[in-house]
Structure 1
Amino acid sequence: MGKRSRQRQKNQPAGRDDRDSGWGAGYADIVKENKLFEHYYKELGLVPDGEFEQFMEAMREPLPATIRITGYKRYPDEQAWHTNMSRKIIRKSPLLEKFHQFLVSETESGNISRQEAVSMIPPLLMKIESHHKILDMCAAPGSKTAQLIEMLHADMDVPFPEGFVIANDVDNKRCYLLVHQAKRLNSPCIMVINHDASCIPTLKIDADGQKDILFYDRILCDVPCSGDGTMRKNIDVWKKWTTSNSLHLHGLQLRIAVRGVEQLAVGGRMVYSTCSLNPIEDEAVIAALLEKSEGALELADSSADLPGLKWMPGVTSWKLMTKDGQWYPDWSHVPSSRHTQIRPTMFPPTDPEKLASMHLERCMRILPHHQNTGGFFVAVLVKKAPMPWNKRYPKVQEEAPKGASLAQESAVKQDGVCGPPASKKMKLFGYKEDPFVFLTEDDPVFTTIQSFYDLSPNFPKQNVLTRTHEGKKRHLYMVSKELRNVLLNNSERMKVINTGVKVWSRNSDGEEFGCAFRLAQEGIYTLQPYIRSRIIRVSVEDIKVLLTQENPFLSKLEDDAHAQAKKISTIVLKYIPKPDSPADPQCSIQLCGWRGKTSIRAFVPRNERFHYLRMLGVEVFRDKQGLGHKQRDEGKGEEEGAAENEAELDLENGDENGSSQAKANSGNQGTSS
């Protein structure tokens, strides 16, 4: 859902960054009451008659914890679940210790996302297909970005979908949280960039041998907002809420939305969303955007897209209140002394015909008491024609054009800070990330990789890149063909934080076997379709051994796998389900490994190990004293399980990092799950 305002970030932390999501130390004394809030929303009449007390009661109740399973089907389809417990209860209750550990572990391995229910709505309304070019304008912390990536990979048999997601955020530090979220999904089709969304640069691409502007098929415009729909989990909003917040944010929200539709392809869809219930941040922004578009934009009717979802239609009339309680029904009543704070676009259009043609009732407002959720607003816009100020597409210029867009011009005039930065300033302050360097087809590093792994002829070697110009290459990454196009054509105008999926890592021991690079688990599902050698078929019992022991002897493997492993060094350990063994996992499992002289090792991250072991019926949990993780086959006695795990990997190692990261994940969901 929408983001709390980043304009306050220099003076105070935004509510979504509260590490305990409003339930930790320092929050116990906050009274869930704000008379100005109640007076304002009673007067606006957004809540149906007779329901206001229910609305307020729901706002005071803790938000139930919800999770979304990382799958390639659309919600609900049993891919999203909610509990009747708050995140605090799940985190603190001894009875739920195993469940909480499960959530932390599976979140870290990318198999679930702990995401608020209403936050799942915008991606579902975008109607994403695998070939779509997608921009997420204000993406951190990244739960919706993860949804977008999943939708691109709806067909798991296609390792490189034609589409991609470019995820942007203005806050450099939060971009790294976004990277962490996106990396869990191991996609070659995601790029994280760091720009002010209201003047995000126009990118160019090669199209049929010519330079062309990149227009996006889908845009998520999930803007910074006052966040009054998040009071259930961000308790500090109760005491900080005032109508001034919306007045300060309206202009920024409109500039971001304008910049979004400028970059949207004709025929494309942009979803605008906030976690605010305030019409100044919601319908007022949409109405102003529609008015500026002069018919180029249309509000889509999404009433049938999410059957079962309860929502209130957008309103067509509202008024404005200042923090001192002064009401203004329209712009004509605003005194000139207030004109810098209050703008005409904050009010409904005065022309009845124009207002009716906008169909603001197609906007959707979700109220907390209707489905035990947070508060939320969403609108779906379809672009029918170029924006009136861009009737003729601009020519691609080598330098960033001055005043390249209406949004940029507006930002420069009003704030004086948002124009395209000078190239010198870019080099000094902006682009500190390592460069992205694509390997040439005759690179000696790649030559040995090609023969060692017997890569198929259709392997897209031109999409392999590294992050260094000089010295030994430590890691190799892959991006899709379309993201390669974007990277090669925009290195001077775009601050890229991260992209691609790691597919190979340097292994000094490998040189004696003929290749210095071993496979990386992160990229195995991307690479495996192209690898034609060094694959070992393993059984369920083999995988249990490989994932519960650090360096088991080769003799621990079953005879078939043992015989195969003796012949190969770097390997893909592949489990293929058998139709006649319904009790075993019915999906393939692929692990990266390395064989030493007498032992074998699987290079699988800790939480991913836990995931596969759970699939195989091995219970993985930390004991009550926190002295270590236990692994025990279901149905086996504790002594038998302990005896089997004498050589068990030290699974407690790194727990502190895992726990703090999990806390960061849950805390940073703040107003944007």
Structure 2
Amino acid sequence: MGRGGSRGGGRGGRGGRKPFRGGNKNNFRGGGRDNRTESWTDIPRQNELFESYYRMGGFLEEEEFEQMWKALATDLPNSFRFTGTKSDALAVREIFKERYIPAITAMDFEGQPVEPPKPVEAFPDELVWDMKTHKKIVRRYAPFADFQKFLVAEAASGNISRQEVVSMIPPHFLDVKPGMVVLDMCAAPGSKSAQLAEMIHGDEEERVQKAANNESPNTDDGGDYSDDGRSTGLLIANDTDYKRAGMLVHQVKRLNFPNLIVTQHDASIFPSIELPSTSGKKQYLKFDRILADVPCSGDGTARKNPNVWGKWTPKDGLGLHNLQLRILFRGLQMLKKGGRLVYSTCSMNPTENEAVISAAIQACGGVTKVQLVDCSDHLPKLKRKPGLTKWKIMDTSTVPGSNEKTAHLFTNWDAFVKAKAKYEKEEPERVFSNKLVPEVFPPVATSEEERIPLERCVRVYPHLQDTGGFFIAVLEKLDDIKVGQLRASNNEAILREAKAESESATPANKDEMEIDSTEQTEEPTPAGNQSPLKRKLENTEDADAEAKRTKTEDTPAEPTVPKTEDQEETPAAATNGSTPAPTKEVVKPKPEQQSQSKEFFEYLPADDPNINQILDFFGISPRFPRDRFMVKNKEGLALNKLYYTSALAKTIISANKHRGMKFIHCGVIVFVAHKIKDKDLMRAPWRLQNEGIRILEPWANNQRVVTCTSKATLYKLLIEMFPKLPKEGGHDIGEVGDQLQDKEIGCCFVRIEKSEGEDGFPFRMVLPLWRHPGSANLMVDKDDRKAMLLRLFNEKDPVIKNHVAEKAKAVQDAKDAEEAEEAERELVEAKEEEADATADAGEDGEGAAAPAVEQA
């Protein structure tokens, strides 16, 4: 199914967001390694600091906050998405709806009907579904077991992605068209990259078919299919961590898209990609669309992430603000004029959301350079709240040697400066966060023309449509960014300046020196209770130390961004006239943060004899490009696997592979060397690969193509491996066997067209088949065979017959039996010799020693 009949690969990514609590920011449950011993259901879903901030920080009215908080403490529904080309996705969706939904709908539990999976209304074409059924019901009834088996099989085949609903929103807001060049800056584990790749390719397969039939591929949808019906676009999916980048590769490989490159770079200093230039002046790639789904504290994932409830502190968001800002700024630099960037997090904290957006726009030169886009027409059925224009910032302060922490709420930077000054006089040992900077507060515009319309941002709260919490903003680049400067990641220099100004200014009155903290907040404190923001926190020091340690290992200590080679200025850390910080010792990256092995991407020349021999054997049209085949060895030899990539992917790889770019994946396997003893008798000892077969098939003439028109024939080919097919004589593989009789040894295309009726096929398929001297075999592994048998024939536990393996086993069994018989015979003979020797010794009369007998 999908682009290659049934895609290989493991289970799809489970859609985990990127809460940044330690090394693995893409863990499905949101944090670092989960060392819990208690059940997730037993963990108290309470955190006084967490609740107090969102209750008092100016986010929602009290009544709606109660609804949101109640929803946040409940389990998250399971959700999934039908993936691949749209035609394939709709076909698998129909099988799911017709086979599994009625069986679940007909069930009762304790006298009440069971709620079946339902499509999520916010998304088009019923391609996104969720299921709220309680696990005790799921575990008890057979229809759910069948449904689960279907999900697992289709996820392995790449036709379903198990992904959180809110995680699916950002790609829709990017408005990607086929032909666009797109960058996913923080892509792992890859579920959003999969969506973007699907959008870039669009309905490419249908258009290629038209082009191959000498029809004009229609481009009225705004896409660019000028490459003989193929999309000219490209997706570059990036992640900074080697292990997470490996997860990303695993996810996108299932898509079998040639217009895709995976890189491993720090997103905040993503290198400029050079393009060939004929003018002598260097040119660099600019992107039509960029997704910056940045590392975040992840408090919107509390419904699935137990770490949020146990470890949430306001320092999480404050500590990540500068990294998020640098990633966003770098993305805006690489964006084309007129291009769009989507910034998103799974956090509800404005420190990581609206504050980052406003700081980035200001650093770019204001709203005349970058504007927030009104995206109310994107996913119009999505329930949402506008972005915040006012908010409060929470910080906690401590006194060394004490476990007690005091929480403070500040409405603006001046309030924090005054509070800090007051405590320095009254309690100089009290320590505040050094990550609290002016940019985390709401921006203050001097005129309506300069005002940043933050209300155009999108907030998705858990109670709106039973999801996690999420933030999305769409930015459009209006003009080149000539100068940009980002402030240092800590507030020490800024506070020194503020203190100097304060000492030279006229003393403020008492009202101006009031601390905007819990004690002075306008919200009333419940009678008889201590303020909820001032309390003793157990084990907080250890937790903070651990968080600080992991973040230091994963993010650079300083926010400076080295100057890149493209035409626009790159942000540098502002010194604000302060003394530069001492040079820090360079820390060698941990092994998992480095590329573990060198990947080679070498393109074969268009006149390579191997390529021409292979394509001629398979009858591929001369119109199919010969210059996009790639190998992955340093010598550039066609030894084992041949990959195909798009033209733009080739241009980028070739121009940048020696410039320090870390390319870790590109290309779709189309041919693999077939190593058999009689390969010298073959014109092309190469076999077609399931991954890339549909890229080649439209351009193949009939010399290596057979058609399958009967489901019975396909069933036979799937349920049996190596069914007999002699050159002369009978066979039982129907019309496929008839067509193969006259084919020479080698690989073939099996073409299956969509057809109506009981014996028809619900979608088009192309599968590779090898014609042996006396048999035939679909080149599809057992797991994919079982997935296809379940999908097409509802075979739940098929037994795949392997005639070659059975024959080999029979030969081995016969050999083992013969050896056992021989061993038994030798044993009998040995015993007889021993008896004879004993008898001889008795006749001698003196008890001569019996000879040693070798036991079998």
* TM-score, normalization by structure 2: 0.67
Q: 1:565 aligns with which of 740, 743, 768?
A: 740
Asked whether the 8 Å contact 1:75–1:124 carries over to 2, the reply is no
- Indicate whether 1:173 and 2:246 are aligned: no
Which amino acid in the other structure matches residue 65 of structure 2?
F
Aligned to 1:344: 438
| Cα offset, 1:10, TM superposition | 8.3
Counterpart Cα distance in 1 of 2:321 and 2:804 = 54
Which structure 2 residues correspond to residues 294-309 of structure 1 after superposition, within 5 A? 294=365, 295-309=368-382
Counterpart Cα distance in 1 of 2:24 and 2:581 = 20
Asked whether the 8 Å contact 1:266–1:383 carries over to 2, the reply is yes
What SS does the corresponding residue of 2:351 show, helix, strand or coil?
coil
Aligned to 1:97: 145
Counterpart Cα distance in 2 of 1:418 and 1:441 = 49
- Indicate whether 1:459 and 2:532 are aligned: no
- Indicate whether 1:521 and 2:690 are aligned: yes
Identify which range, 468-477 or 595-604, moves more after superposition.
468-477
Counterpart Cα distance in 1 of 2:299 and 2:271 = 31
With CA pairs under 8 Å and 6+ residues apart, which has the higher RCO, 1 or 2?
1
Asked whether the 8 Å contact 1:259–1:407 carries over to 2, the reply is yes
Instruction: Encode CA deviations 1:124-182: one digit per residue, 9 max, x unaligned.
Output: 01111101000000000010000001111211234631001000001100111111110
90 and 356 in structure 1: CA distance in 2 versus 1, 3 angstrom threshold: farther
Asked whether the 8 Å contact 1:65–1:86 carries over to 2, the reply is no
| Cα offset, 1:469, TM superposition | 2.7
Which structure 2 residues correspond to residues 488-637 of structure 1 after superposition, within 5 A? 488-491=654-657, 492-509=659-676, 510-532=679-701, 533-539=703-709, 540-554=711-725, 555-568=730-743, 569-578=746-755, 581=757, 584-616=760-792, 618-621=793-796, 629-630=797-798
Asked whether the 8 Å contact 2:58–2:390 carries over to 1, the reply is no
Cα RMSD for the two superposed structures: 3.4
| Cα offset, 1:583, TM superposition | 5.1
Asked whether the 8 Å contact 1:2–1:223 carries over to 2, the reply is no
What SS does the corresponding residue of 1:272 show, helix, strand or coil?
strand
Asked whether the 8 Å contact 1:2–1:222 carries over to 2, the reply is no
What SS does the corresponding residue of 1:597 show, helix, strand or coil?
coil
What SS does the corresponding residue of 1:514 show, helix, strand or coil?
coil
12 and 277 in structure 1: CA distance in 2 versus 1, 3 angstrom threshold: closer
Instruction: Encode CA deviations 1:8-27: one digit per residue, 9 max, x unaligned.
Output: 2189979536789x999653
Counterpart Cα distance in 2 of 1:401 and 1:229 = 33
Identify which range, 323-332 or 60-69, moves more after superposition.
323-332
Which amino acid in the other structure matches residue 351 of structure 2?
I
Counterpart Cα distance in 2 of 1:153 and 1:479 = 13
Instruction: Encode CA deviations 1:330-382: one digit per residue, 9 max, x unaligned.
Output: 11122467573211110111235369731110000001011001100000001
Q: 2:394 aligns with which of 300, 311, 321?
A: 321
594 and 26 in structure 1: CA distance in 2 versus 1, 3 angstrom threshold: same
- Indicate whether 1:66 and 2:79 are aligned: yes
403 and 185 in structure 1: CA distance in 2 versus 1, 3 angstrom threshold: closer
What are the ranges of 5 or more consecutive residues in structure 2 without an aligned counterpart? 1-14, 87-121, 209-229, 397-405, 421-430, 486-560, 806-856
| Cα offset, 1:34, TM superposition | 0.6
Asked whether the 8 Å contact 2:20–2:297 carries over to 1, the reply is no
What SS does the corresponding residue of 2:349 show, helix, strand or coil?
coil
Asked whether the 8 Å contact 2:242–2:594 carries over to 1, the reply is no
Q: 1:384 aligns with which of 478, 486, 505?
A: 478
Instruction: Encode CA deviations 1:616-669: one digit per residue, 9 max, x unaligned.
Output: 3x1233xxxxxxx337xxxxxxxxxxxxx766999xxxxxxxxxxxxxxxxxxx
What SS does the corresponding residue of 1:381 show, helix, strand or coil?
strand
Which amino acid in the other structure matches residue 182 of structure 2?
I
Identify which range, 496-505 or 523-532, moves more after superposition.
523-532
Aligned to 1:242: 313
Q: 2:40 aligns with which of 27, 39, 44?
A: 27
Which amino acid in the other structure matches residue 553 of structure 1?
K
Aligned to 1:254: 325
481 and 417 in structure 1: CA distance in 2 versus 1, 3 angstrom threshold: farther
105 and 23 in structure 1: CA distance in 2 versus 1, 3 angstrom threshold: farther
369 and 28 in structure 1: CA distance in 2 versus 1, 3 angstrom threshold: closer
Which structure 2 residues correspond to residues 141-220 of structure 1 after superposition, within 5 A? 141-155=189-203, 156-158=205-207, 160-206=230-276, 211-220=282-291
Which amino acid in the other structure matches residue 133 of structure 2?
M
Which amino acid in the other structure matches residue 544 of structure 1?
Y
647 and 594 in structure 1: CA distance in 2 versus 1, 3 angstrom threshold: closer
What are the ranges of 5 or more consecutive residues in structure 1 without an aligned counterpart? 392-399, 622-628, 632-644, 651-673
| Cα offset, 1:70, TM superposition | 1.0
Aligned to 2:650: 484
* TM-score, normalization by structure 1: 0.84
| Cα offset, 1:615, TM superposition | 4.2
Counterpart Cα distance in 1 of 2:765 and 2:59 = 51
| Cα offset, 1:300, TM superposition | 0.5
Identity %: 36
Which amino acid in the other structure matches residue 560 of structure 1?
E
Counterpart Cα distance in 1 of 2:26 and 2:642 = 40
- Indicate whether 1:433 and 2:598 are aligned: yes
Aligned to 1:269: 340
- Indicate whether 1:358 and 2:524 are aligned: no
What SS does the corresponding residue of 1:455 show, helix, strand or coil?
coil
Which amino acid in the other structure matches residue 135 of structure 1?
L
What SS does the corresponding residue of 1:601 show, helix, strand or coil?
strand
Asked whether the 8 Å contact 1:231–1:238 carries over to 2, the reply is yes
Counterpart Cα distance in 2 of 1:13 and 1:239 = 17
What SS does the corresponding residue of 1:157 show, helix, strand or coil?
helix
What SS does the corresponding residue of 2:257 show, helix, strand or coil?
coil
Q: 1:224 aligns with which of 295, 305, 325?
A: 295
What SS does the corresponding residue of 1:325 show, helix, strand or coil?
strand
Asked whether the 8 Å contact 2:344–2:472 carries over to 1, the reply is yes
Counterpart Cα distance in 2 of 1:128 and 1:12 = 24
Asked whether the 8 Å contact 1:434–1:467 carries over to 2, the reply is yes
Identify which range, 349-358 or 256-265, moves more after superposition.
349-358
433 and 262 in structure 1: CA distance in 2 versus 1, 3 angstrom threshold: same
